[in-house]
Amino acid sequence: MTNRIYNFSAGPAVMPMPVLEQVQRDLIELPGVGMSVMEISHRSGPFEAIIGAAEADIRTLAGVPDNYKILFLQGGATLQFSMVPMNLLTEGRTADYIMTGTWADKALKEAKRVGTTHETGSTADTNFNRIPRDDELAFTPGAAYVHMTSNNTIEGTEWHRVPQVPDDVPLVSDASSDIFSGPIDISKYGLIYAGAQKNLGPSGVTLVIIREDLLARSSKSLHTMLNYTIHAENGSLYNTPPAFGVYTLGLVIKWLLANGGLAGIQAVNQRKAGKLYAELDRTGFWTPTADKASRSLMNVTFRLATEDLEKAFIKEATAANFDGLKGHRAVGGMRASIYNAFPEHGIDELVAFMREFEAKRG
């Protein structure tokens, strides 16, 4: 008998039940170790096996090429907003930022503290309701890198292609809210980063996948904890890592591998989002906010005719155990965040609830 509710939170977000069950079962004594995963030394064999397996499983899951390092860091995507330019925006060069929403703008603001930046492809004029076309993107020749936000959590848009950047310019992607939600060609990126708390596990661990040649850019004058090269050389163990987070993230990766990998989860995500968008498109009672071609499979944003109606919907939904449907305060409306671990039957039940709500008020 469970009291669990449907959690549409944008992050931290719902986690796979088999992962939660394993974490719970092994919490006090990791099998064969006799201590909690929170108690073991990060220099011990058991922890080396945990972090090693997490890395190896990520390589298998996403086909990460050998010339990429996988790092487990702290500080979330927000610290990456700073670390990316600190490490990669070298003297005399420009960093290009594709402006697709609130988080892209926050990333740009930190880069401006480091050096010269250039903003391109902004869709601000339509409230970031779409991803720019390639012909709207103008990159700086010889840019230090191009920064993109693969999924815009607040605006409900997602890139469904990899933008065309010049051959010699590394593409950096903030993939916090759609990482490993489907197949990804890592080789098209110079660096990918993601806070764990949406698709990878608990908050407090940040995944960074970086092409090795880019490590040469990290200046020796950088502070130790802000230097990708130091973390890479030490296998993410320069200092004590967020051990519980790495462990749990590793279990989430194993759960993905056991459930069809990235192609498998993509099919599920397309089906889940497809059902919800179909309902939003059905009668005109609801107004999905993202442009059709840019719709996110992870964050489904929508409005109702009036704010009063929206308030009523959120209130009734919460009472019916659909939690976290309120849109981000910056944009209002509703948002259903339906990451990898969100169960498909939760979508079916939400759609049924929405249909009832429409029948009463429509």
Confirm or reject binding of residue 234 to its own copies (CB under 8 A). Answer: no
Query: What DSSP state is assigned to residue 284?
Result: S
So which residues are the catalytic ones? 103, 174, 198
- Omega cis (within 30) before 12: yes
Smallest separation, CB 24 to its own copies (Å): 4
Q: Which of 349, 297, 302, 296 is nearest to 323 (CA)?
A: 349
Q: In 43-131, where do the E strands start and end?
A: 68-73, 94-98, 116-120
Which residues 7-26 are close enough to bind its own copies by CB under 8 A? Answer: 7, 9-15, 17, 20-21, 23-24
User: What is the closest distance, in whole angstroms, from the C-beta atom of residue 145 to its own copies in the complex?
Assistant: 18
Per-residue mark of binding to its own copies, 74-113 (x: CB under 8 A): xxxxxx-xx---x----------------------xx--x
The backbone torsions φ and ψ at residue 313, rounded to the nearest 5 degrees and listed phi first, read: -60, -50
Site for its own copies in 129-148 (CB under 8 A): none
Cβ-contact 71, 232 below 8 angstroms: yes
Q: Which of 202, 250, 288, 346 binds its own copies (CB under 8 A)?
A: 202
Q: How far apart are CA 354 and CA 272, in angstroms?
A: 15
φ, ψ of residue 164 to 5 degrees: the values are -75, 110
Instruction: Yes or no: say if 99 and 291 are a contact pair by the CB < 8 Å rule.
Output: no
Q: Which is nearer to its own copies, 150 or 197 (CB)?
A: 197
Pattern 178-197, binding to its own copies, x per CB under 8 A? -----------------x-x
**Residue count, binding to its own copies (CB under 8 A):** 65
Interface positions, 236-275, toward its own copies (CB under 8 A) = 238-245, 248
Residues 58-77 that bind its own copies (CB under 8 A): 74-77
- Burial code (b: 16+ CB inside 10 Å, e: under 16) for 212-247 equals eebbebbeeeeeeebbbbbbbeebbeeeebbbbbbb
Residues that bind its own copies (CB under 8 A): 2-5, 7, 9-15, 17, 20-21, 23-24, 27-29, 34-36, 38-42, 44, 74-79, 81-82, 86, 109-110, 113, 195, 197, 201-205, 221, 223-226, 238-245, 248, 321, 323-324
